Chains A and B, each alone.
Chain A
Amino acid sequence: MKHINKILKLVLVFCLCQTSFAQLSNDIQKKEAEYYKIVNVPIPKDVILEVGGLSLTDDDKLGVSTRRGDVWIIDKPYSQTPTYKRFAHGLHEPLGLAYKNNGFYLSQRGELTRLEDKNNDGVADVYKTVYSWPLSGNYHEYSYGPKFTKDGDMLVTLNLGWMDRGVSLVKWRGWMLKITPEGKMTPIATGLRSPAGYAINGDGDIFYTENQGDWVGSGRMTHLEVGDFAGNPEGLRWAGEPESPIKNLKFEDIEAESGLTLYEYAKKVPALKAPALDPLKDRYL
């Protein structure tokens, strides 16, 4: 399948970067250049980016959301003389950005927001709450996204909180949610811990990666479908909620220490979704 090859290429570049950056940076740059053109975008001294999300607008300007809550619009981002204009400010740690229907969409800690420039002065005047989810106040409850699906809905992922381990203190931490532009929310899948990376391919398949951690380690990619459980049991605390697509699995069903590998355990608990790639056999499962 075409998309498998794409993924394999991606992983290959990623691995090479990781292992040999220090010694072979020149070789790597050459190798990378075969796949990507890398352009350094100059950043003005008084702009603190700490980038959380990137998205191109319809007229090819680059939108950048930052950890400190700004959204910048960079005109001519590929040139060495880009111009920066602050489009929005004061958002709560947006980690993601998407552009659609003349507005930006982004996840703040506690909500999915649409930003709109109603009076066309280049600065957002509408900060519309599309959908708000609960927060416990734990610092580790990062929220990522959105990504648009083919039919115009949005996917967001919600990181677990942290109290000496990943914890789902409130609904829907550890989940992927689908939200319509009108604000209707449907939980899609759980078992996530720090689901910072996810994407939808041309066929509409959803893949996600983790950055590190308990139950769900880094370096794996999981194909997520409605009702999937990807391994970290914390999100299952909300599996009994009426909106939940996971009907036959509870938090208590997952053993703390089974002694089995994830693949073996998935045979025992079929609801458990194993990674999309089998690292031993190099194939798509």
Chain B
Amino acid sequence: MKHTTTLNYCIALIICCLTSCKKDVKATETLVVPEEEPKQIEFLPFTEVDLKDLSSFKPTTANWQITGHAVADRVKERTLSFSEGTGILVNMGDKDANGHIFTAFEHGDIEIEMDVMMPVKSNSGLYFQSRYEVQLLDSWGVEEPQYLDIGGIYQRRDDARGKGKEGFEGHAPKTNAAKAPGLWQHFKIIFHAPKFDDAGNKIKNAWFEEVWLNGVLIQANVEVSGPTEAAAFEDEKPRGSLMIQGDHGPVAIKNIKYKLYEDKKFSFSNIVNKEFEGNYQALINMDSLKMVSEKNVDNIDISELALSNSRKIVSYSGTMEVPTSGDYLIKMGLNGGGLLLINNDTIFNLNEDYGYAFQQRFAELTLEKGSVPFTLVYNKKFPWRGELELKVEGPQIQSYSLLEPIVDTRPRRPQPERILIEPKEDIIAQRTFIMHKDIKKVFSISVGSPIGIHYAFDLSRGSLLMAWDGQFLDATPMWDSRGESQLVEPNEFHVASHGGFEFAYLESDDSNWPNMDDDIGFKQLGYEFNQEGIPMFLSQINGTTVTNTFKPSGQRKIGRQIVVNADKTIWHKLAEGESIEALPNNTYIVNDESYYVEVSGSNKLKPVIRNVNGVDELVVKIPSGKQTINYSIIW
């Protein structure tokens, strides 16, 4: 039988590949450096919108231009300046010419990303299919965002509903994730067009599956029953251009990239499901396993096994129908062990002796349209834990699960009541572990203030990690039960600094900055609360002492005062980013984290931007003796 041959083949492969499977080491700040694995792609590439000229768009009015640089005035409303060049689409906000712009491409279901810059109080919008609007607005500082704030799904309008009731169906973003005007803001949106039957009748409304702004999911599964207010068309269609609004003020947009999706899926046939007695070990020889059942099934559904307290090995073999020829990306995630073969090629071989931790892998492969044999093996080693994910993304195919969803209706431990830390009257300085750019920072202290602006500081490097507003800390993962992660969750919307050392002795102006794990003679000395109840962090680098004080002020702004007593010339790194841009008035923009550094005019020492190893650094050279540095970060 065909699948028997396949299995024997796979056993040989398992034996060959046993050594190639490495344990998935979770990134923590350890002295044990995990072996680097080759970077796997986790999604298929996007189509980029070429912004060297306006040929990616339909002809429009002269307010739309391609420029090389855009700067929003930080005070004057709706004021954007720009310079010649390419890569940025700008609406100049001209009073005479104020048309909208439409992409040359048309879309139905689409996943799109872009960066947007809003000048002070400016307004624009992204109209999917020229009809369904995600609002663009300078909403910085808005406490309770509405549908008309950035990231809102704009309301629909029908005058027939009566005075005062014309607007309906607007959807506010869940969080105000707006950055300060003039900063680049990142959008990721997954939109689904309305669906029609063969006679052209609408059978399903358009919906926004996800809207992400600056890394925060602000809309999920929002249905729109028809075009929103000020849409270019009243009717609804399977396809349309993306429209950007041009009559409400200037806006700059760059890095537009997208993927178009069609409703295509794999189908399975002749699926044979076998179950074998399981054990803790890696899968070595399936012939030695004791089969307990064999049956034909209609789909791949591991629900029963996943939810039962049993240890088993299961296999599914059969034929899968590839919907279209092209490049595919498959993701397998599991705990225990597992294997996937397509067309007799081993796509995944996650097979090790223990395998308790959940791990996932991605594989790229090219498939031809038509039938191919497949075998999926899952080794559920732990009676109380069975997780298996298998997802596919392909040409015009949005990533989806090949497995039937597991619906767990068993009674379970109730969700713990959230344990929130809230600064009400005094400043709270709480030591915890915290995630910073995928690294678990284990010597972190989070400082929350009653005015609602908070930050985290790494005591072991003497460096600011991140800043945020709103909810201070959710300490449930640290204090509920055993607190196995020992992590706290700051408000999701935050701005992160580089997180490495902030002071270093450099041999010359272009010497490399030391790495986070270098021994630079750094010593943490602890902290003291001053008379105002504000913590001052003390550290020492050889003969230099450094005192760090932070002053949260106003909306999304933190002031820093650093007092240095240096034994010899030392450098301070204010910021690091893929690009740092100097603006007038001692202000800098740090990208792509996207925040301002505003250096106090009273500072004697002037920072400089230097580029070392492809990274921009904003640094200041500090002579020996006692010096004070003042600056703010604004996001």
- List residues of chain A with CB under 8 Å of any chain B CB: 67-69, 89-93, 108-111, 113, 118-119, 125-129, 132, 134-139, 164, 169-171
* Contact among B31, B429, B483, B526 with A113 in the assembled complex (CB-CB below 8 Å): B526
- Min CB distance B532 to A, Å, is 11
Taking CB atoms, residues of chain A closer than 8 Å to B530 are 125
Whole-angstrom CA separation of A9 from B430 in the bound complex: 41
Q: A170 to B31, Cβ gap below 8 A?
A: yes
B30 within 8 A of A: yes
Taking CB atoms, residues of chain B closer than 8 Å to A134 are 30-31
* Given A135-B29, A139-B482, 11 extra CB contacts under 8 A: A67-B479, A69-B430, A89-B430, A90-B445, A111-B443, A126-B526, A127-B527, A134-B31, A164-B356, A169-B30, A169-B32
Whole-angstrom CA separation of A19 from B183 in the bound complex: 67
Annotate B510-543 by CB proximity to A: 1 below 8 A, 0 otherwise: 0000000000000011111111000000000000
- Kindly report which residue of chain A lies nearest to residue B529, judged by CB atoms: A125
Closest 9 CB pairs of A and B: A137-B28, A92-B431, A129-B526, A90-B430, A137-B440, A136-B30, A135-B442, A128-B526, A139-B484
- Min CB distance B465 to A, Å, is 15
B466 within 8 A of A: no
Q: B443 to A138, Cβ gap below 8 A?
A: no
B354 within 8 A of A: yes
B127 within 8 A of A: no
- Kindly report which residue of chain B lies nearest to residue A108, judged by CB atoms: B431
Q: B528 to A164, Cβ gap below 8 A?
A: no
B279 within 8 A of A: no
Q: A170 to B30, Cβ gap below 8 A?
A: yes
Whole-angstrom CA separation of A169 from B440 in the bound complex: 15
* Contact among B32, B354, B486 with A139 in the assembled complex (CB-CB below 8 Å): B486
- Min CB distance B420 to A, Å, is 13
- Min CB distance B68 to A, Å, is 44
* Contact among A125, A129, A171 with B459 in the assembled complex (CB-CB below 8 Å): A129
Taking CB atoms, residues of chain B closer than 8 Å to A127 are 526-528
Q: B443 to A139, Cβ gap below 8 A?
A: no
Prevailing SS type, chain A contact patch = loop
Whole-angstrom CA separation of A69 from B446 in the bound complex: 13
Whole-angstrom CA separation of A119 from B529 in the bound complex: 10
- List residues of chain B with CB under 8 Å of any chain A CB: 28-32, 354, 356, 428-433, 440, 442-443, 445, 459-460, 475, 479, 482-486, 524-531
Taking CB atoms, residues of chain A closer than 8 Å to B429 are 89-90
Whole-angstrom CA separation of A125 from B442 in the bound complex: 23
> Given A135-B443, A169-B30, A170-B30, are A89 and B484 also a contact pair (CB < 8 Å)?
no
- Min CB distance A175 to B, Å, is 15
- Kindly report which residue of chain A lies nearest to residue B479, judged by CB atoms: A68
Taking CB atoms, residues of chain B closer than 8 Å to A92 are 431-432
Whole-angstrom CA separation of A69 from B421 in the bound complex: 12
Whole-angstrom CA separation of A135 from B459 in the bound complex: 13
> Given A90-B431, A126-B528, A170-B30, are A137 and B442 also a contact pair (CB < 8 Å)?
yes
- Kindly report which residue of chain B lies nearest to residue A129, judged by CB atoms: B526
27 contacts between A and B (CB under 8 A): A68-B479, A69-B430, A69-B431, A89-B429, A90-B430, A90-B445, A92-B431, A92-B432, A93-B486, A110-B442, A110-B443, A110-B460, A111-B443, A118-B528, A125-B529, A127-B527, A129-B526, A135-B29, A136-B29, A137-B28, A137-B442, A139-B482, A139-B486, A164-B354, A169-B30, A170-B31, A171-B31
- Min CB distance A213 to B, Å, is 15
> Given A136-B30, A138-B28, are A91 and B440 also a contact pair (CB < 8 Å)?
no
Taking CB atoms, residues of chain A closer than 8 Å to B482 are 139
Q: A132 to B28, Cβ gap below 8 A?
A: no
Taking CB atoms, residues of chain A closer than 8 Å to B28 are 136-138
Q: B428 to A90, Cβ gap below 8 A?
A: yes
> Given A137-B442, A139-B484, A164-B354, are A129 and B430 also a contact pair (CB < 8 Å)?
no
- Kindly report which residue of chain B lies nearest to residue A125, judged by CB atoms: B529
Taking CB atoms, residues of chain B closer than 8 Å to A108 are 431
- Kindly report which residue of chain A lies nearest to residue B439, judged by CB atoms: A137
Q: A128 to B525, Cβ gap below 8 A?
A: yes
Q: B431 to A139, Cβ gap below 8 A?
A: no
Taking CB atoms, residues of chain B closer than 8 Å to A136 are 28-32, 442
Whole-angstrom CA separation of A90 from B430 in the bound complex: 4
Taking CB atoms, residues of chain B closer than 8 Å to A91 are 431
Taking CB atoms, residues of chain A closer than 8 Å to B31 are 134, 136, 170-171
Whole-angstrom CA separation of A109 from B430 in the bound complex: 13
Taking CB atoms, residues of chain B closer than 8 Å to A67 are 479
- Min CB distance A143 to B, Å, is 12
Whole-angstrom CA separation of A119 from B29 in the bound complex: 36
- Kindly report which residue of chain A lies nearest to residue B441, judged by CB atoms: A137
Which of B28, B356, B442, B531 is packed against the most chain A CB atoms within 10 Å?
B442
- Min CB distance A79 to B, Å, is 29
Which of A90, A109, A111, A164 is packed against the most chain B CB atoms within 10 Å?
A90
- Min CB distance B547 to A, Å, is 13
- Kindly report which residue of chain A lies nearest to residue B444, judged by CB atoms: A92
- Kindly report which residue of chain B lies nearest to residue A139, judged by CB atoms: B484
- Min CB distance A211 to B, Å, is 14
- Kindly report which residue of chain A lies nearest to residue B32, judged by CB atoms: A169
Taking CB atoms, residues of chain B closer than 8 Å to A68 are 475, 479
Whole-angstrom CA separation of A190 from B440 in the bound complex: 27
Whole-angstrom CA separation of A126 from B536 in the bound complex: 10
Q: B30 to A132, Cβ gap below 8 A?
A: no
Whole-angstrom CA separation of A171 from B31 in the bound complex: 9
Taking CB atoms, residues of chain A closer than 8 Å to B442 are 109-110, 135-137
- Kindly report which residue of chain A lies nearest to residue B432, judged by CB atoms: A92
Taking CB atoms, residues of chain A closer than 8 Å to B32 are 136, 169-170
- Kindly report which residue of chain A lies nearest to residue B531, judged by CB atoms: A119
Taking CB atoms, residues of chain A closer than 8 Å to B428 are 89-90
> Given A89-B430, A110-B442, A132-B443, are A137 and B479 also a contact pair (CB < 8 Å)?
no
* Contact among A69, A129, A137, A169 with B525 in the assembled complex (CB-CB below 8 Å): A129
Whole-angstrom CA separation of A8 from B597 in the bound complex: 66
- Kindly report which residue of chain A lies nearest to residue B524, judged by CB atoms: A129
- Min CB distance B448 to A, Å, is 10
Taking CB atoms, residues of chain A closer than 8 Å to B528 are 118, 125-127
Taking CB atoms, residues of chain B closer than 8 Å to A129 are 459, 524-526
Whole-angstrom CA separation of A138 from B433 in the bound complex: 10
Whole-angstrom CA separation of A194 from B443 in the bound complex: 22
Taking CB atoms, residues of chain A closer than 8 Å to B433 are 137
Whole-angstrom CA separation of A169 from B429 in the bound complex: 28
- Min CB distance A168 to B, Å, is 10
Taking CB atoms, residues of chain A closer than 8 Å to B527 are 127
Whole-angstrom CA separation of A92 from B440 in the bound complex: 15
